[in-house]
Structure 1
């Protein structure tokens, strides 16, 4: 009986450890999404730029691949300048290793059409975060599409 209880306790400990690690990854994604949305919705492109690695890649669903923080910042500045606001990210799936987290989810935002009327739009995104040498997480790759 004692061996059985030790076995059950050890199994519980392993399961709890895995659950805590998953929770930690989920919390990291929620934190990263919160930082991203906060910076974008405030129009703070400089803070948004700092969430990306220097050599980050981004594809905004038009067949192009932008490379580097400056190119990423220029794209987001154009969105801010054109009135895109209220950006939100909803996570669908998370895949992780010790030094990389990949998120697949949905994004939504508000803007204005050519007549100045308010519109909402969104799509699917894939976001890859990598752990840096100092232990922080930065975006290495960001890809999205837009659904009509």
Structure 2
């Protein structure tokens, strides 16, 4: 979240596995860390900011875990005034050989989380 909010798409990309997949709403699947980084760079350039995440459920076993949560995100409106959208997400975390947990799958959409 800090990496995104500071506009650092490269740091956001490093939070994902090499074979990560993003499944954005109303969009096509984006595969690989490079594609993920490019997606988030586009979002940052489009004026998206002030991302907040709230994990509502987390569980896992072995080298995989999942997280279900809610988010808010600042987005530019057509009038140019700031606007905030809210939504929900599910991510799958994968523990790498180096012991680091990284995002492996990431899907989200708009609307109330509960």
- Consecutive unaligned residues of structure 2, counting only runs of 5 or more, are none
TM-superposed deviation, 1:79:
1.0
Q: For the pair shown, which has the larger CA radius of gyration, 1 or 2?
A: 1
Q: For residue 19 of structure 2, what is the aligned residue in structure 1?
A: 55
Q: For residue 90 of structure 2, what is the aligned residue in structure 1?
A: 126
Secondary structure at 2:78 match in 1: coil
Secondary structure at 1:43 match in 2: coil
Q: Which has the higher contact order (CA 8 A, sep 6+)?
A: 2
Q: For residues 92-111 of structure 1, what are the structure 2 equivalents within 5 Å? A: 92-111=56-75
Which structure has the highest strand share of the two? 2
Secondary structure at 1:145 match in 2: strand
TM-score (norm 1): 0.72
TM-score (norm 2): 0.93
- In the alignment, the residues of structure 1 paired with residue 27 and residue 111 of structure 2 have an alpha-carbon distance, to the nearest angstrom, of 15
- In the alignment, the residues of structure 2 paired with residue 63 and residue 96 of structure 1 have an alpha-carbon distance, to the nearest angstrom, of 28
Q: For residue 116 of structure 1, what is the aligned residue in structure 2?
A: 80
- Consecutive unaligned residues of structure 1, counting only runs of 5 or more, are 1-36
- In the alignment, the residues of structure 2 paired with residue 114 and residue 63 of structure 1 have an alpha-carbon distance, to the nearest angstrom, of 20
TM-superposed deviation, 1:63:
4.5
Q: For residues 1-148 of structure 1, what are the structure 2 equivalents within 5 Å? A: 37-147=1-111
Which structure has the highest helix share of the two? 1
Secondary structure at 1:92 match in 2: strand
Q: For residue 28 of structure 1, what is the aligned residue in structure 2?
A: none
